Amino acid sequence: MKIVVQKYGGTSVGDIARIKNVANRIIQKKEQGFSPVVVVSAMGNNTDDLLDLAYQISDNPPKREIDMLISTGEQVSIALLSMALHELGHDAISLTGHQVGIKTSGHHTKSKIVDIEDKVLRKHLSDNKIVIVAGFQGSNEDSDITTLGRGGSDTSAVAIAGKLQCPCEIYTDVDGIYSLDPRMYPKAKKLDAISYEEMLEMASLGAGVMHTRAIELAQKHKISILVASSMENKPGTIIKESEPGMESAVITGLAIDNNDALVTLNNVPYSIGITAEIFEMMAKKDINIDMISQTSPKDKLVNISFTTPKSDLVDTRSILGFISKKYPQISFEINENISKLSVVGIGMRSHSGVAAQIFVLLAKANIEVEMVTTSEIKISYAIDPKDQQTAVDLIAREFEL
């Protein structure tokens, strides 16, 4: 049995015509000799519409109930897609995350997959059925419905492919992965292939094509992922293990993220224990921290800065308020008006001076950098949003992205 996992995003199933289009694509795959498992997102803006309803009722609705509410979006799309396949003469069955055996743990609205019981999946496949799975969801140890966070349908698809040890195909409204967002730089190049490492960095830095956890799972299980258009039959981009030929470019991609805030804690006692306490509290609330920098100690005090998603600011403010009460000398400030610009490339491992080259470009354009962090294959700069387009144009031209 040649199994393939396909995932179709919300835009791909945004209306009845598109659902019928997806049904025809699935049938084409089946007629090629594959047994498809299809993971589907909620239709179009359905999730946002459901969240809007929730926040009309409460400014802070219980997250368990949020999961109960928004998980219904995927149930609508899987049922309609299954109906479309039946109408075209093919046996299909729709299954929720719970029914298919996706086990989760962690916080509501951003839980993680811990296991998949594939018995139900394999039985339906052996009965020659097309299996349609609700993405983005599973159930925890209490049998509560939980969701995996934005882009979680990617995670569902790759996790299932990992369990079944088969290829994964992600179909969306773009025809592949580009060096940077073509809406910001129309000359952006589409990539034929990209390594897991580079894609993981790009995804974590705001490139919205793929979900970070999905790439981690693909890398762990060595599952290749095709990212392609659900509307056109064009070659897409393969995400796979790094190969020597893939390392020729110094920079593979550039990402912009306007969804982070810059948090600065001033006058923090120079103590690893206090620093650990702060970040441990953040971790317990599952708050994602990206860029981190710390000044050199002066009078046994340091300043610590980091970026975190604006969506986590309610919890972040609560933690910082507690810290400033416990340590009265500590003050904090939050800047929500930043753009995080990042360049990524495994070629940087063997090429020095990339950070300096970019600093020179930004300096010539009088673009101030509020914060910079580096890793082996990534450099991130926090800049003013008004400067982001200029910075993107300069870097894209300089590195031929």
Average pLDDT over residues 212-238: 90
Task: Report whether pLDDT(262) > 70.
Answer: yes
52 DSSP assignment? H
Which band of pLDDT confidence, cut at 50, 70 and 90, is reported for residue 206?
low
**d(Cα 111, Cα 365) in Å, to the nearest integer?**
43
Task: Report whether pLDDT(3) > 90.
Answer: yes
Task: Output the pLDDT for position 286.
Answer: 86
The full set of domain ranges for the chain reads: 2-173, 260-335
Task: Report whether pLDDT(246) > 60.
Answer: no
Task: Report whether pLDDT(43) > 80.
Answer: yes
- Model confidence over 358-370: pLDDT tens digits? 999 999 999 999 8
Cβ pair 299, 267 in contact under 8 A: no
Structure tokens at 381: 């700069």
Which band of pLDDT confidence, cut at 50, 70 and 90, is reported for residue 244?
low
Task: Report whether pLDDT(202) > 90.
Answer: no
- Of 150 and 33, the structure prediction assigns the larger pLDDT to 33
Task: Output the pLDDT for position 248.
Answer: 59
Task: Output the pLDDT for position 205.
Answer: 67
Task: Output the pLDDT for position 153.
Answer: 92
Listed in order, strand segments (DSSP E) in 78-183 are 92-95, 102-105, 112-116, 130-134, 137-139, 145-147, 168-172
How many other CB atoms sit within 10 Å of the CB of residue 82?
23
Task: Output the pLDDT for position 96.
Answer: 97
Question: What is the distance, to the nearest Å, from the Cα of residue 48 to the centroid of all Cα atoms in its chain?
Answer: 17
Alpha carbon distances (Å) from 241 to 8, 200, 228:
23, 12, 18
CATH class of 2-173: alpha beta
Identical topology for domains 2-173 and 260-335 = no
Average pLDDT over residues 202-214: 74
- With 0.85 as the threshold, say if the pTM is over it: no
Contacts of 361 (CB under 8 A, 6+ apart): 391, 394, 395, 398
Task: Report whether pLDDT(300) > 60.
Answer: yes
Task: Report whether pLDDT(247) > 60.
Answer: no
- Model confidence over 120-138: pLDDT tens digits? 999 999 999 999 999 999 9
Across 59-68, 236-245, 262-271, least confident range: 236-245
Average pLDDT over residues 178-192: 89
Task: Output the pLDDT for position 208.
Answer: 63
CATH number of the 260-335 domain = 3.30.70.260
Task: Output the pLDDT for position 363.
Answer: 92
Task: Output the pLDDT for position 234.
Answer: 87
- Model confidence over 67-93: pLDDT tens digits? 999 999 999 999 999 999 999 999 999
